[in-house]
Structure 1
């Protein structure tokens, strides 16, 4: 089918977008007005994602960032001071944190990325052994009953949509961190995805699994694209293109003369919801915007199709559907959940906040306040540059990393460089950036952060600044190391991949059995033991694993243990070690043994 789709576009060309109803700048202002006026709940100090919604208003880090960015980009707009006041109210009432992306503008971005790595580990542990995420009917919610959910598919049924809904968060976290465990887990999930060719199952809260679905292929495009960026494997890029091309038949490529909204409106489902009605003739543009966002990402590395032209058309159709002054519902800036191409009006009254419009609009403008990752490959190692805006012209040679950061003039933001455990100097436009603690708000500088992250805070004197990081020390590849043995098991990369429970009791010393350094733990002055667990490694129950460690105890009467802690989905299962209670060698001695992973073990 994809070959037929490509042939049609080769013969007929990619349709031009309809005329935008307003300029990009006016579109940004309408989005901001929709969020600050229509979406804001003054009593709850939060924003609505839809009106009228059963969930109520709450703090939303994405909305807060969209508003902050608009005010920063348009300081003279009348909305700017109102946005500042509203954000202060929202921050004061927020339960905790401002969101992942916000940390790159106000906060500690390296700590936030490290938290994503931990969340990714939970994703990997929750992944089914064969990478096949299954459908399970929900037990009922405010929208649909359990009986309705059960009618949508068989419990345990697996399709591409159920898989990518589970895999996409893990894929995104793997791209951010380059963590070996996450990359290997992503590849396992992609290996399972390879068997599917029919997009379905990613709106299974209301849509039967059998119905072809645009959201499923959008998420599949992302998963394979991230796999390609992480590994460089051509197969993954080919599959990303396949799923992206599969999405084109879900778009109207024409319109009746009196119905301009039709062109590039998106049919989200070729079928029905809850076995009633049909979605043909009733575009659901938020799903189209999810697809547009995915193909914008693909366009950054693939020019086999004018992806951004299609994304622009989808965005313009959404802009045409937006409510403006005089709308009967008064939801200015919002847009309908579904639009009737026959009636040229909303299919039913359910208005959505324009957050997805903001994402695609900013992506097409090339300056997005949300953080994204750029992967630089050097041999079998990768470096991950995570920043808002855009990273371009990135390269690594002679132990130096070079890249250009593009963002708003006068803005200050953070860049996190992942999988770098040390650096000598950081230069911005040729001037040295000082190594500082980065505790003061707005303070420019850089510092090494735990876990293999460099944290940079830079000010944009112009729209583009050139950054050079000299004397880079890169983390080992890890993809082979992490599953064949512990990542950084020799401590040559410091404490990366290790987490002492009492950091003041753990230090690196030069007195090593081999290599340049070893880990020293001291329990002096403590009544309990000191532990330093490694980052967990995925295992298979019933398989044998060899534990080997060179250890000595130069002083003290109490003992030590080098231990395997077998973990399952519910946590600890049991410990294994070779400790006999009296081995306290003054010289390095080999400890360990061969142990069988117990039933239920997923990691150690």
Structure 2
């Protein structure tokens, strides 16, 4: 085996019509003395930030070829050297300035080398390094037929270039890359390959050369704009998919003995309101009457009549939905460092083997956004100044991170890049933008959305229908022993797709909705249907091996993430939607499970207008913070009267309408019935109402009535009276205006002194 370098005999320059090109021609002398002609072309178009390259070699004799490299990029040579701000090799590496590629940190010795990975482990065919205000890299079309027959060149990446002990960053493509006997990290064919005489070997790639930026994710954006997203055909219609998901939950997920549903095969059944809500909506839209009837029966048998955010915003008590958000937010605020962060030990268990995943005081993006997500959701829904301050302070701290990591460290080393951190960051910064309308927050949401692309397969191998949109969750391992390279964990990708659907309402820099659709369709291809060997119809695998084209192992998950994203793709919120509108002095926060197509505040006219889309002949709830009780409410052109009290549990098709102003929480709740798929809501005569912390029975200090009402739970209809002169701090006022129901107040056991 001998290495032969290409030296040109002549150069042909061309510069015309806004395009420049250099063509190098020469010949390679083979070990047998034959001359194989070669051509290397480098082209640059006006305004482009990449150089188009083509390397061609034409064998004239039957001689073995171990590897043809070209082009080869040594980023930083003569400039920033081995330094960098960040680097990315999608699917394999997402590096910060101090990290090196193929390191065992977070991976474990023996699994760490990924200089030359299997081509099916590369999620986006681009490699890039950012340093000193520039991004340099290499990108290519993986489906190019480099010999007229075979596809998918192999890639080699080293940042910095430790294998050759050079102060640069190495990026290159090579062939032959025959997949049937590909050996990782070898950098050449396993066996000598003999090309047909006269058949030209052709390698095409683009050298990325972006100035005035040190954002490595711009290379991912450039790849999408240059090559486009792959085609992907869904195996079912959206309606059929929702029917399959509902079937999966009622058949595969239901445990008749425990009267609950499993979120994953083998897990203990639960009665989560979120799952019941998703099931009911999927069964309704799936239009299979038998499945819908079974779903309703199971929900009744499980005793899930309310609770959770979505179910209470759909047909339960919307004020309770806000309470759920508040409880999650205030719980998440606990332990926040004055600078805005949370540590590993505050976010994850340190028991047993988990203590090896990071030091207790370590901080990553994921340890912060795990806590910030519920805080920002509540801040956006209510404008609570305490939540807003805690959330924005935490997000300001997170501006120091460039790598998405630390959001899956219940089993993954904290330093490993992971997709869930990017997904949560997108949602948090998008909420910050909606609250403040500061463009920098939207820029940061875009950054983390682009960072997430490094985990998503944006190309399609001909023999892998599930590949386009497949999402690896981690560039690393579980407990340093179980590698996740090339293994899709689609539930994490579906969470990222959910975030992208929200971002798509505000940003068109990339086709985010189409990426979300790719991810959803990939999950549909992975999903189990009738006849699947495991029998888990409607569920999908926890992990799918893209290299083998089969489940990584046998363990299936409930299709909740699929339902969420399909709902978004058919025009409904993936879960629930929170929108804000400002026209001084009005600052409006609106939450609902309907699709908020438009929200306007008119401070001069003391009015709020919203266009809301939902299911015809169905009802849903709306909660509005920031305004007083209205003088009048109109919906779909008709007047809506006030409720004397909020009605008890209703059904999705209950046509009762009305509004109720909750004095305890200082918010307006509405129940609306859609006669068409979209309606206009108008609130007249509203005044600005700054957020006031609610006084809830469970949040008063310990003791009896004189010291507070800790532990008391008040059913709808009961109110807390904090001004009763006959009580030291508070009294409990119970009202039951509807004789068909009762209002109860129960307390935790407490000792009462005589007298």
Give the shorter-chain TM-score range: 0.7 to 0.9
> Corresponding residue for 1:58?
270
Per the TM alignment, residue 419 of structure 1 is displaced from its structure 2 partner at its CA by 1.7
> Corresponding residue for 1:35?
249
CA contact (8 A) 1:391 1:404 kept: yes
Select which of 603, 613, 632 maps to 1:425: 632
Separation in structure 2 between the aligned mates of residue 167 and residue 181 of structure 1, nearest angstrom: 13
> Corresponding residue for 2:597?
392
Separation in structure 2 between the aligned mates of residue 354 and residue 360 of structure 1, nearest angstrom: 10
Select which of 227, 230, 239 maps to 1:16: 230
Per the TM alignment, residue 274 of structure 1 is displaced from its structure 2 partner at its CA by 0.8
Select which of 289, 310, 314 maps to 2:519: 314
Per the TM alignment, residue 119 of structure 1 is displaced from its structure 2 partner at its CA by 4.0
Tell me which moved more, 376-385 or 282-291: 376-385
CA contact (8 A) 1:17 1:264 kept: no
> SS of the counterpart of 1:420?
coil
Is 1:209 equivalent to 2:423 in the alignment? no
CA contact (8 A) 1:138 1:149 kept: no
Matching of residues 229-378 of structure 1 within 5 Å: 229-368=434-573, 370-378=575-583
Structure number with higher helix proportion: 1
Separation in structure 2 between the aligned mates of residue 415 and residue 74 of structure 1, nearest angstrom: 25
Per the TM alignment, residue 308 of structure 1 is displaced from its structure 2 partner at its CA by 0.5
> SS of the counterpart of 1:85?
helix
Per the TM alignment, residue 422 of structure 1 is displaced from its structure 2 partner at its CA by 2.0
Deviations along 1:92-126, one digit per CA (max 9) or x if unpaired, are: xx5x9532211123321023314433542343344
> SS of the counterpart of 1:245?
helix
> Corresponding residue for 2:80?
none
Deviations along 1:237-269, one digit per CA (max 9) or x if unpaired, are: 000000000111211122221112112111111
Q: Structure 1 residues 137 and 452 mapped into 2: Cα distance closer, same or farther (>3 Å)?
A: closer
Q: Structure 1 residues 345 and 334 mapped into 2: Cα distance closer, same or farther (>3 Å)?
A: same
CA contact (8 A) 1:138 1:146 kept: no
Separation in structure 1 between the aligned mates of residue 271 and residue 431 of structure 2, nearest angstrom: 29
> SS of the counterpart of 2:388?
helix
> Corresponding residue for 1:576?
none
Per the TM alignment, residue 212 of structure 1 is displaced from its structure 2 partner at its CA by 0.8
CA contact (8 A) 2:242 2:283 kept: no
Tell me which moved more, 282-291 or 114-123: 114-123
Per the TM alignment, residue 498 of structure 1 is displaced from its structure 2 partner at its CA by 5.5
Is 1:102 equivalent to 2:301 in the alignment? no
Select which of 325, 329, 353 maps to 1:148: 353
Q: Using structure 2 for the length normalisation, give the TM-score.
A: 0.62
Select which of 729, 735, 746 maps to 1:530: 729
Matching of residues 40-119 of structure 1 within 5 Å: 40-53=254-267, 56-74=268-286, 77-91=289-303, 97-119=306-328
Separation in structure 2 between the aligned mates of residue 355 and residue 139 of structure 1, nearest angstrom: 24
Q: Name which one, 1 or 2, has greater alpha-carbon Rg.
A: 2
CA contact (8 A) 2:528 2:540 kept: yes
Q: Which runs of 5+ in 1 are unaligned?
A: 479-486, 488-495, 504-518, 533-604
CA contact (8 A) 1:366 1:389 kept: no
CA contact (8 A) 1:124 1:181 kept: no
> Corresponding residue for 1:547?
none
Per the TM alignment, residue 380 of structure 1 is displaced from its structure 2 partner at its CA by 6.4
Tell me which moved more, 333-342 or 72-81: 72-81
CA contact (8 A) 2:239 2:286 kept: no
Select which of 687, 690, 697 maps to 1:473: 687
CA contact (8 A) 1:434 1:446 kept: yes
CA contact (8 A) 1:438 1:444 kept: no
CA contact (8 A) 1:267 1:284 kept: yes
Structure with the bigger RCO (C-alpha within 8 Å, sep 6+) is 1
Q: Structure 1 residues 139 and 74 mapped into 2: Cα distance closer, same or farther (>3 Å)?
A: closer
CA contact (8 A) 2:612 2:679 kept: yes
Separation in structure 1 between the aligned mates of residue 300 and residue 290 of structure 2, nearest angstrom: 17
Per the TM alignment, residue 382 of structure 1 is displaced from its structure 2 partner at its CA by 2.1
CA contact (8 A) 1:229 1:375 kept: yes
Separation in structure 1 between the aligned mates of residue 583 and residue 463 of structure 2, nearest angstrom: 54
Separation in structure 2 between the aligned mates of residue 135 and residue 125 of structure 1, nearest angstrom: 14
CA contact (8 A) 2:724 2:730 kept: no
> Corresponding residue for 1:444?
657
Separation in structure 1 between the aligned mates of residue 489 and residue 574 of structure 2, nearest angstrom: 26
Q: Structure 1 residues 522 and 446 mapped into 2: Cα distance closer, same or farther (>3 Å)?
A: closer
Structure number with higher strand proportion: 2
CA contact (8 A) 1:284 1:338 kept: yes
Select which of 130, 133, 153 maps to 2:339: 130
> Corresponding residue for 2:219?
4
Deviations along 1:164-194, one digit per CA (max 9) or x if unpaired, are: 1111111111112111111111111011111
> Corresponding residue for 2:104?
none
CA contact (8 A) 2:587 2:601 kept: no
> SS of the counterpart of 1:247?
helix
